[in-house]
């Protein structure tokens, strides 16, 4: 049996008051559409397609970051039923198709699996994933006659009695592909919104099942900024709970945002105002924060990051960085390195036990083991047109205020004298001094001031 998944992402989301498609609104800095795609990919459908519409190019730009996902363009936003019609080519290529809403981020692979089991066992033409929630405002209501699920009624079309029903449509469904393709042309826009509702397929197909989820959160969707904030808060708390179960510590969770895909080891402490995003992995026994921003980094064990910004970098075990340091993309910090205040490192490899203690910029550099940088060292890696690399051998000593004009190479155990501007290779074991002679003029200030008067 081949399974397909159609994710609806064409709507404008007027209530968000955004210039961008609603499905790109973010929960924990990941677009809602990304959450839905993650669940779909984890489930492992044979085919996944996304229906785009409003500002399709923005949705397509995001999808490109996720691989090669086919899209179907819905020219006018005539409703969820019309949106699904656009994906007919994908549907007809499958036996069984799951429709998901790109604005309901908490659907998960486990629920998709269990609902498919019910769908197959019941022999239904359509199985709707539902949940009981305290406040059903805005959701389609599950209508049952003598307990049997017969229809979904949108809020605006509900009778006062139906309006009170708390079992709602999650917007996620399993369809027998053939039954869906037969039902879609029969949809009408004869309803309060004047839209083609996918939900009407339940009555058209007739033979319908409802899978009531144990986790009511999975139905939650965001149509407004207020509900988007609520989703963020729920997701944030869920991440904290998962991490605490894994042995991660928080003194307080104030101001801490950790993305859903972040992994952190036991005995690591996360301090306030710390944001950890993307595919970041952090080892055991670390102290991260306060005031740190970490994105897509791989961090080892026993690492201390104090007021650090680090993106797309690797930090090995036993490293101390901060306060007030930045690691820009492409940086590798090896075991035992110490990086102090006001240091920026970009696209560089810093060898084991090297110390970069204060006020230093290292860009496009390959630095060996046990190197010591004095205060205020700079690699001049850019001539305004091209970037060049700097190579520094193990145990070199780079004196305070050294400028290294790349491309340049400093040998092992070499030393540069404080204040030197190095433009040519310094051989191993040697000292490079680049300094003018000091002239001493006695009584200079006294004479100068007298002349001025």
Catalytic positions, written as ranges:
358
Q: Does residue 103 touch ligand UD1 according to CB under 6 A?
A: yes
Neighbour-count burial for 113-141, b at 16+ CB within 10 Å, e otherwise:
eebbebbeeeebbbbbbbbebeebeebbb
Rounded distance between C-alpha atoms, residue 381 and residue 96, angstroms: 57
- Candidate residues 31, 105, 125, 171; the one interacting with ligand UD1 per rule CB under 6 A: 171
The pair of three-digit structure tokens given for residue 93, joined into one six-digit string: 């290529």
Q: Provide the CA 420 distance to its chain's centre, in angstroms.
A: 43
Q: Is 287 in the site for Ca ion (CB under 5 A)?
A: no
> Please, what is the end-to-end C-alpha distance for the chain in angstroms?
99
Look at residue 374 and give the partner it binds from Ca ion, ligand UD1, none, a contact being a CB closer than 5 to 8 Å depending on partner kind: none
Rounded to the nearest whole angstrom, what is the least distance from the CB of residue 395 to ligand UD1 in the complex?
59
* Residue 35 contact partner, candidates ligand UD1, Ca ion, none, CB within 5 to 8 A by sort of partner: none
| 168 interacts with ligand UD1 by CB under 6 A | yes
CB atoms within 10 A of CB 450: 9
Question: From the list 154, 167, 176, 306, which residue makes contact with ligand UD1 (rule: CB under 6 A)?
Answer: 154
Locate all alpha helices (DSSP H) within 102-219, ordered by sequence.
109-122, 160-163, 177-183, 201-205
Q: Running DSSP on this structure, what letter comes out for residue 341?
A: E
Strands 96-101 vs 3-9: parallel, antiparallel or unpaired: parallel
Q: Which of 163, 222, 198, 175 is nearest to 33 (CA)?
A: 222
- Cβ-contact 318, 334 below 8 angstroms: no
**At closest approach, how far in Å is the CB of 357 from ligand UD1?**
51
Q: Work out what residue 393 binds among Ca ion, ligand UD1, none; the CB cut-off runs from 5 to 8 Å by kind.
A: none
The site partner of 8 among Ca ion, ligand UD1, none (C-beta below 5 to 8 Å per kind) is ligand UD1
Q: Which one of 168-176, 179-187, 228-236, 314-322 is the stretch in contact with ligand UD1 (CB under 6 A)?
A: 168-176
DSSP state of 20: S
Under the criterion CB under 6 A, does residue 221 sit at the interface with ligand UD1? yes
The reply to whether 62 sits near ligand UD1 by the rule CB under 6 A is no
Q: Give how far Cα 172 sits from Cα of 77, 120, 208, 400, Å.
A: 19, 16, 14, 62
Residue 77 contact, options Ca ion, ligand UD1, none, Cβ 5-8 Å cut-off depending on partner type:
ligand UD1
CB 308 within 8 Å of CB 290: no
Task: Kindly write out the interface string for residues 64-103 of this chain, putting x where it contacts Ca ion by CB under 5 A and - elsewhere.
Answer: ---------------------------------------x
Segment near ligand UD1 (CB under 6 A), from 77-85, 107-115, 312-320, 369-377?
77-85
Nearer to ligand UD1, 160 or 194 (CB): 194
Residues 1-20, mask of contacts with ligand UD1 (x by CB under 6 A): -------xxxx---------
- Cβ neighbours for 254, distance < 8 A, ≥ 6 positions apart: 272, 273
- The binding site for Ca ion (CB under 5 A) comprises 103, 221, 223
- The binding site for ligand UD1 (CB under 6 A) comprises 8-11, 22-23, 51, 53, 74, 77-80, 82-83, 101-104, 139-140, 152, 154, 168-171, 197-199, 221, 223
């Amino acid at each position: 049996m081949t399974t397909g998944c159609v994710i609806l992402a064409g709507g404008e989301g007027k209530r968000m008051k955004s210039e961008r498609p609603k499905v790109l609104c973010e929960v924990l800095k990941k677009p809602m559409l990304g959450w839905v795609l993650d669940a779909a990919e984890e489930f492992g459908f044979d085919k996944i397609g996304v229906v785009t519409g409003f500002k399709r190019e923005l949705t397509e730009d995001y999808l490109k970051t996720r691989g090669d996902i086919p899209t179907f363009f819905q020219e006018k936003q005539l409703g969820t039923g019309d949106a699904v019609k656009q994906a007919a080519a994908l549907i007809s290529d499958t036996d069984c198709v799951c429709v998901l809403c790109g604005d309901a981020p908490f659907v998960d692979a486990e629920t998709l699996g269990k609902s498919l089991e019910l769908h197959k066992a019941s022999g239904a033409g359509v199985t709707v994933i539902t949940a009981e929630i305290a406040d059903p405002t805005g959701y389609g209501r599950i209508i049952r006659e003598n307990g049997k699920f017969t229809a979904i009624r949108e809020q605006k079309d509900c009778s006062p009695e139906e309006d009170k029903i708390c079992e709602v449509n999650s917007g996620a469904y399993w369809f027998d592909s053939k039954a869906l393709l037969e039902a879609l042309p029969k949809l009408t826009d004869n309803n309060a919104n004047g839209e083609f509702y996918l939900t009407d397929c339940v009555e058209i197909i007739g033979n319908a099942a409802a899978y009531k989820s144990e986790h009511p959160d999975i139905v939650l969707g965001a149509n407004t900024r207020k509900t988007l904030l609520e989703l963020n808060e729920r997701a944030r708390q869920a991440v904290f709970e998962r991490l605490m179960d894994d042995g991660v510590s928080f003194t307080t969770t104030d101001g801490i945002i950790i993305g859903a895909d972040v992994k952190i080891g036991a005995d690591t402490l996360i301090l306030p105002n710390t944001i950890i995003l993307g595919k970041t992995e952090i080892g055991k026994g670390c102290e991260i924060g306060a005031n740190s921003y970490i994105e897509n980094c791989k961090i080892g064990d026993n690492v201390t990051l104090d007021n650090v910004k680090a993106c797309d970098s690797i930090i090995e075990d036993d490293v101390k960085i901060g306060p007030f340091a930045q690691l820009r993309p492409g940086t590798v910090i090896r075991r035992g390195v110490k990086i102090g205040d006001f240091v920026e490192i970009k696209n560089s490899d810093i060898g084991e036990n090297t110390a970069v203690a204060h006020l230093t910029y290292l860009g496009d550099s390959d630095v060996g083991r046990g190197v010591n940088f004095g205060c205020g060292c700079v690699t001049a890696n850019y001539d305004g047109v091209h970037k060049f690399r700097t190579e520094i051998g193990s145990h070199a000593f780079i004196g305070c205020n050294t400028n290294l004009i790349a491309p340049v190479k400093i040998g092992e155990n070499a030393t540069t004298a404080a204040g030197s501007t190095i433009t040519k290779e310094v051989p191993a074991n040697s000292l490079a001094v680049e300094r003018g002679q000091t002239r001493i003029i006695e009584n200079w200030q006294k004479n100068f001031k007298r002349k001025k008067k």
